[in-house]
Amino acid sequence: MAGATATSGVAQAAAQGPCDVYAAGGTPCVAAHSTTRALYAGYGGPLYQVRRSSDQALRDIGVQGAGGYADAAAQDSFCAGTSCVITVIYDQSGKGNHLTQAPGGGAASGPDNLADATLAPTTLNGHRAYGVYVAPGTGYRDNHTSGIATGDQPEGMYAILDGTHYNGGCCFDYGNAETSSNDTGNGHMEAIYFGNIKVWGYGAGPGPWVMADLENGLFSGENARYNANDPTVSHRYLSAMVKGAPNQWAIRAGDAQSGGLSTFYSGPRPNVAGYNPMHKEGAIILGIGGDNSKGAQGTFYEGVMTSGYPSEATENAVQANIVAAGYANSSATTGALRGTGSGKCLDVPNASATAGTQTQIYTCWGGANQTWTRTADGQLTVNVSGSTLCLDASSGGTADGTKVVTWPCNGGANQKWQFNSDGTVTGVPSGRCLDVAGAAVADSTPVQLWSCWGGDNQKWTLG
């Protein structure tokens, strides 16, 4: 990979962060947001702030040491026995471009929802951290920034995203947007988009795609509709980059866990009126469109915006830094089992110890009846009312619609569960997925076995 030599994750984190790389390339960060790690070697301040529901208290979550990883243990301790949301994502650049709860805008009223602080567990070189889980209706914004590109000024940006968490809603963005929270015309935005909507531009295959939201259009290239060179991407951890300068812009992306970047587009601005020159306004958004369109979903771990148009060599070195950070799925074996589609937890109703109680989803609150342990032999156990029970496919059933219940642990195959890389959890004898019935999201919706089909109601995270 050009521009950098990967070293051990700990040494790389201590030696430099991505914003040190950008600065060395002459395109310094003017916004740097992360809930997982410091983006400068010398940064030792807060990464984000959480608010717990039990007493509305606030807590800044910082790093374990300058240039290091998030202090996830501080969040775990503060939020134990209750739920927490992320209220602020701090700007590490020193320019004060912090992301907070987005206000209403032209497309949707507000304020927007705040992200549950525990729904996107991850690890970086074995260090536990949390990303920002954006469910539809969730959004962050700063309409009063310093140093962000305006007009046709050059800029670059990247974001590390969960490449398996997306939808066709508008619009999961990170980047430059309108300061009024309204659509003010073509070319008034420049943001990274990730998802599989096809209303505007799109790329090859079924999606999702990395594209640019330039307002009144998601663009995959110069053509207003289609770029065959912008492929469907599905990396669990995705590096997505967009940059723009006078009549020049580019999309680059790659696997944030290994390898380099590919260029999906580099060339002139879209051949539609209003995009050359650009009319960027300099607000920053996360999880929403420029006019507060908030029907999209996704997960954000870190991202920056730069002053100036970064070179490919600089971006390649940033990618090497990202890979060295060692993003990986959470290695937790005990915690809440959270549904991707609902954001709610697998729950034993009323903490019942009665054998055969069908499990459900319910708002996460940290109770013992929502705390599951994945054992070495593939069981999922829960302690309720003094009894340790196993997650069980009722009566050894393997058909669609089989109830998923709690039952005394007996070593049976119908109490063994496989965690898969796509987020599904499958019963060992049936191969069918742990499924929220009807893809519903309401409290008390039952959980069952169903044929795996890729829906978010069949995807889970433990942690």
Per-run averaged pLDDT (10 residues), the chain, 463 residues: 33 73 98 98 98 97 97 92 93 98 97 92 92 96 98 98 94 98 98 96 97 97 91 96 98 98 97 96 98 97 98 98 93 85 94 96 93 86 92 96 96 88 88 96 97 94 86
d(CA 116, CA 200): 30
Q: Do 219 and 125 belong together in one domain?
A: yes
Domain assignment of residue 152, yes or no: yes
Strand order in the sheet with 327-329: 127-130, 121-124, 327-329
Q: Do 13 and 138 belong together in one domain?
A: yes
Q: What is the full DSSP assignment across 137-204?
A: TB-EEESS-SS---BT--EEEEEEEETT---SSS--EEEEE-TTSS---TTS-EEEEEE---SS-B-S
Q: How many independent structural domains does the chain possess?
A: 2
Angle CA 174–180–183, to nearest 5? 75
Structure tokens at 43: 């940064």
Give me the residue label for tokens 């007996």: 410
Q: Do 75 and 49 belong together in one domain?
A: yes
> What's the CATH number where 367 sits?
2.80.10.50
Q: Do 285 and 338 belong together in one domain?
A: no
Q: Do 295 and 425 belong together in one domain?
A: no
Active site residues: 215, 291
Question: Which of the listed residues 284, 311, 329 is the one where a domain comes to its end?
Answer: 329
Q: Work out the number of other CB atoms within 10 angstroms of the CB of residue 455.
A: 15
Which residues make beta-bridge pairs with 381? Answer: 373, 390
Can you tell me whether residue 286 is helix, strand or coil?
strand
Domain assignment of residue 27, yes or no: yes
Q: Do 104 and 205 belong together in one domain?
A: yes
d(CA 298, CA 28): 27
Can you tell me whether residue 309 is helix, strand or coil?
coil
Burial of 281 (0-12, 13-18, 19+ CB in 10 A): buried
Q: Do 251 and 350 belong together in one domain?
A: no
For residue 302, what pLDDT is reported?
Answer: 98
Domain that holds residue 354: 334-462
DSSP state of 114: P
Domain assignment of residue 3, yes or no: no
- Evaluate the CA torsion angle 354, 356, 358, 359 in order and state its sign: positive
d(CA 417, CA 266): 45
Of 160, 179, 168, which Cα lies nearest the Cα of 281?
179
Domain assignment of residue 1, yes or no: no
Q: Do 228 and 124 belong together in one domain?
A: yes
Q: Do 263 and 342 belong together in one domain?
A: no
Q: Are 34 and 303 spatial neighbours (Cβ–Cβ below 8 Å)? A: yes
Q: Are 302 and 174 spatial neighbours (Cβ–Cβ below 8 Å)? A: no
CA atoms within 13 A on the CB side of 199: 12
Of 120, 127, 84, 72, which Cα lies nearest the Cα of 461?
120
Is the entire prediction scored with pTM above 0.75?
yes
Q: Is the peptide bond before 208 cis (omega within 30 degrees of 0)?
A: yes
For residue 35, what pLDDT is reported?
Answer: 98
Helix/strand/coil percentages in the chain, nearest 5: 10, 35, 50
Question: Which of the listed residues 263, 298, 329 is the one where a domain comes to its end?
Answer: 329
- Evaluate the CA torsion angle 251, 197, 450, 136 in order and state its sign: positive
Q: Do 264 and 339 belong together in one domain?
A: no
* Residue 244: φ, ψ to 5°: -150, 145
Q: Do 138 and 251 belong together in one domain?
A: yes
Of 78, 53, 52, 54, which Cα lies nearest the Cα of 62?
78
